[in-house]
A and B are shown apart, each in its own frame.
Chain A
Amino acid sequence: MTSLTTFYLSRLIGCKLFDARENVLGIILDVYVQLPMSNTDINKAQRPKIVAFYIKQGNKQLNVTLTNVQIVKFNTRYKVQCQAMTELPAELLNHTFLLKETILDKQIVDINGRKLVRVNDVRMVALSSGAFVVAADVGLEGLVRRIGIYKFLRTALHLFGAKIPSKFILWDDVEAIDFSSLNIKLNTPFTKLNTLHPSDLADIIEELGKDSKTSVFSSLDEETAADVLEELEAKEQVQIIESLSIEKAADVLEKMPADEAADLMENLEEERAQQLLKEMEPEASEEVRDLLEYPNSLVGSLMTTDILTFKETQTIADVIAYIQQQQPEMAELYTLFVVDEQNRLVGTFTMRDLLVSSLNKPLKDIMIDNPHQIHDYERLDSLSEIISKYNLLGVPVTNENEELEGMVIIDDVVDDLLGKRRTM
């Protein structure tokens, strides 16, 4: 009989609960844990604390708080003892969640590993200040412990000098996602997810079930949401956009590059696409509408219209000041353009030119005259050739009147070459 400091959730579930006189009070079905209310600092250790127990007494289920809880191990079983037990009204359990229901056997995001993992068990610690969640057990060891073949397997492997591999993820590096069954109001849900790269987030979202997909995606701020949406497969994009409200979807689409938004809308049902275009800011939807006109096999369908244009009389200093004021996305800086009064393309220059030239130089001294360009109604095939032959990051796209329409960036050409991402 030893009193425990660390214990596993799976072994606590189904335990008998005794009072000080060894009378059985009930059977533990689950525990309510509370997340710390302040989330000013994501990096501060914040461990959920057990605040109440969900127990079965005869044939009714109760929510209770216990005083002076002791978890005692005897043989391989746990026994829970307490001084006193009080029933708890459900409304006091706001901002808490059931640990087994929400975490055990469910998928969580491993923030450091940037992937979804399945929780085999939860490791907890009992301190004088209460019982806390320490880590999620996602290793094979937890799995065989749950199945009940741990001792057998350990002995068997011991003969070969091998160990059962174990893997724990500290709670600070975990984001739970499956709150489908709860009335929980997280004040800032999924904060840790915002620290992930949009591509990793996209991979994670693709693997989630429907409800979690929507709730995780909705919790992202619009900028991140737009970046994530860009990374998703076409079918996945459609599913997400359809699960959002028109307003929210339009807000996210505005934040996307117009060409990406146009590609996405092509796959939506006509009616929905029109609603979204109406809802979007006129400027953004105008660009998208123009891009939607191009058939898929032509350059225009792949180009981005988010470009920076300057006059040849402007200086390097002017350009840098403008860029600092505009804060454009990286892709817009791949190639910078010089146009005349009629918006006809006269030259291009690069970020390198900005960095190595003196600030008072006018653009016409550093730009490349007559750059390689491509017409919006040409076929896509020639693009990759031009990009690789001339080592370009972006190719200018002009219309039949030589007016600059946009550019095709290398990222989109690579995506196009790779085709759709492989899945099973």
Chain B
Amino acid sequence: MSKTNRKSFWKSIAIFLAILGPGIITGSVDNDAGGITTYSVAGALYGNQLIWTLIPSFIVLFIVQEMNARMGIVTGKGLATLIRENAGVKVTFFIFMGLLIADIGNTTTEFAGVAGSLEVFGISKYIAVPLVGLVVWILVVKGNYTLAERIFLIFSASLLVYIVSAIMGHPDWRTIGHAIIKPQNELNGKSLTMILGIVGTTIAPWMQFYMQSSVIEKKLKISQYNYVLVDILVGCIATVTVAFFIMIACASTLHEQHITINDAKDAALALKPLAGEFASQVFAFGLFIASVFSAVILPLATAFYVSEAFGFEAGIDKKWDEAPEFYVLYTGILILAIIIILMPNAPLIGISLWTQVINAILLPVILVSMILLVNKSKLMGEYTNKPIVNVIGWITVVVLVSMSLILLVTPFL
């Protein structure tokens, strides 16, 4: 390497590190408590048989986030704003009411993750949940975004502890390879639900809004597009890697012993006799980090996008009386979620199921809006979609919708 070459290489690395963030954080927030639960249950129930679904998940995730990043860079407007300005009030209202309800459910799931993971360490949920809620609230209301983003990146890196968990279960790599190349599973209502759950948890509706606004926040330019692509790619790889190792951790232990579980906490507990106490604690630690991570971002992001769509003042740099709707939404989502978790006999299974259903209905609507927006040359100029991206986008929508429909009608067959 000549001197100038080396200089430009390091310069590129420096630019990349400055840009790094949106894709990786978005990808990591994907692996929240609900995600970890889904992957654990899938691993325990189907062993290695469903690992192949991570491949289409990866493709869809990459395509969707790339569209978000491109829209953010070119228009400088958030997705909520674009939907409101181009799809009218009624569609906006439908999407954002759905988003609000789904995200109250999602936030509840995050706090369930907090409660469950700390129970593994013997801490009561009646202490853990309010305390974490308070810390989250303070971090957001008193903190600033640059600091938060750095903390998030450290969080994202620590999710890789799942690799440790997986390896301690001594998985059989040959059968795993086989299962990816030659998937063998019966398609029935139950496995279809699982597949949809895996894809759905990988691309949650609110993520699209988050991705786009974090790109805008960074003031990225189209000349930096290639770096952004790398950021997204790294983020998607990280997301899928974490998911892969969670599945393997549960597949090589719980599935072998025919242990059924209902949530991620059960997985952590069940690992103890099979892979040792350390593996169990690492699993729980990962769950805790992921839950707190998403519990910070989710209510905040939701409050933000609902405000953006309906024209309320928003932002943590505003005072409470300047942006009352925003703060009421944010605090309300947090408090509701905490109350639900602390209720004795809270119907958690029902909540997470309904949340998934609303997500499954919302996702195609948002994807369709996105594809329509990103193809508008009035908005995007020369940066509209390439045909191949449109094809994959529409296929995704059709597949998701038809899978959801099949699921809705199977009980009646």
Q: Which A residues fall within an 8 A CB radius of B? A: 105-107, 115, 117-120, 138, 143, 146-148, 180-181, 208-211, 213, 235-236, 238-239, 242, 420-424
Contacts and interface: CB of A to CB of B under 8 A. Distances in A.
Interface string B67-93: 000000011110001001100111001
Contacts of A211: 75-76
A118 B313 contact: no
A236 B315 contact: no
Given A180-B378, A181-B378, A211-B75, 8 more contacts: A115-B313, A118-B84, A209-B75, A210-B75, A421-B317, A423-B144, A424-B300, A424-B304
Interface in B292-332: 300, 304, 310-311, 313, 315-317
Dominant secondary structure of chain B at its interface with chain A: helix
Contacts of A213: 76
Contacts of B145: 422-424
Given A236-B219, A239-B219, A421-B317, A210 B76 contact: yes
B170 interface: no
A422 B85 contact: no
A117 B75 contact: no
A264 to B, nearest CB: 14
Contact of A423 (B76, B221, B317): B317
B219 A424 contact: no
16 contacts: A105-B85, A105-B89, A107-B311, A147-B89, A147-B93, A209-B76, A210-B76, A213-B76, A235-B219, A236-B219, A420-B146, A421-B317, A422-B144, A422-B145, A422-B316, A423-B144
A146 B316 CA distance: 29
Contact of A120 (B75, B90, B311, B316): B311
A249 to B, nearest CB: 15
B378 A209 contact: no
B184 to A, nearest CB: 47
7 closest residue pairs by CB, A with B: A118-B311, A210-B76, A209-B77, A235-B219, A146-B89, A422-B317, A422-B144
A111 B221 CA distance: 30
Residue from A120, A420, A423 with most neighbouring chain B CB atoms (10 Å):
A423
B217 interface: yes
A213 B304 CA distance: 21
Contacts of B300: 424
Interface of B: 74-77, 81, 84-85, 88-90, 93, 144-146, 217-219, 221, 300, 304, 310-311, 313, 315-317, 378
A138 B312 CA distance: 10
Nearest to B77: A209
A211 B76 CA distance: 8
Residue from A211, A422, A423, A424 with most neighbouring chain B CB atoms (10 Å):
A424
Nearest to B300: A424
B315 A424 contact: yes
Contact of B221 (A119, A138, A242): A242
Contacts of A105: 84-85, 88-89
Contact of A143 (B144, B146, B310, B317): B310
Given A143-B310, A210-B74, A423 B89 contact: no
A421 B76 CA distance: 20
A107 B313 CA distance: 12
Residue from A180, A209, A235, A420 with most neighbouring chain B CB atoms (10 Å):
A209
Residue from B76, B81, B84, B144 with most neighbouring chain A CB atoms (10 Å):
B76
A238 B18 CA distance: 15
B144 to A, nearest CB: 4
Nearest to A10: B89
Residue from A105, A211, A242 with most neighbouring chain B CB atoms (10 Å):
A105
Contacts, number: 65
Contacts of B84: 105, 118
B78 to A, nearest CB: 9
A120 B89 contact: yes
Contacts of B90: 146-148
Given A181-B378, A208-B76, A210-B76, A138 B311 contact: yes
B128 to A, nearest CB: 26
A216 B361 CA distance: 39
Contacts of B75: 209-211
B118 to A, nearest CB: 28
Contacts of B378: 180-181
Given A208-B76, A210-B76, A424 B89 contact: no
A423 B311 contact: no
Contacts of B218: 235
Contacts of B81: 107, 209
B319 to A, nearest CB: 12
Given A117-B311, A213-B76, A424-B145, A238 B317 contact: no
Contacts of A117: 311
A52 B366 CA distance: 35
A117 B85 CA distance: 13
A421 B145 CA distance: 10
Contacts of A181: 378
Contacts of A236: 219
Residue from A115, A147, A213 with most neighbouring chain B CB atoms (10 Å):
A147
Contacts of B85: 105-106
A118 B84 CA distance: 10
Nearest to A119: B311
Contacts of B315: 423-424
A29 to B, nearest CB: 13
Contacts of A180: 378
Contacts of A238: 219
Nearest to A106: B85
Contacts of B74: 210
B31 to A, nearest CB: 22
Contacts of B310: 118, 143
Nearest to A239: B219
B89 A143 contact: yes
Contacts of A422: 144-145, 316-317
A423 B217 contact: yes
A242 B73 CA distance: 14
B318 to A, nearest CB: 9
A119 B310 CA distance: 9
B54 to A, nearest CB: 32
B408 to A, nearest CB: 26
A209 B90 CA distance: 23
A24 to B, nearest CB: 24
B76 to A, nearest CB: 3
Contacts of A235: 218-219
B222 to A, nearest CB: 10
A138 B325 CA distance: 14
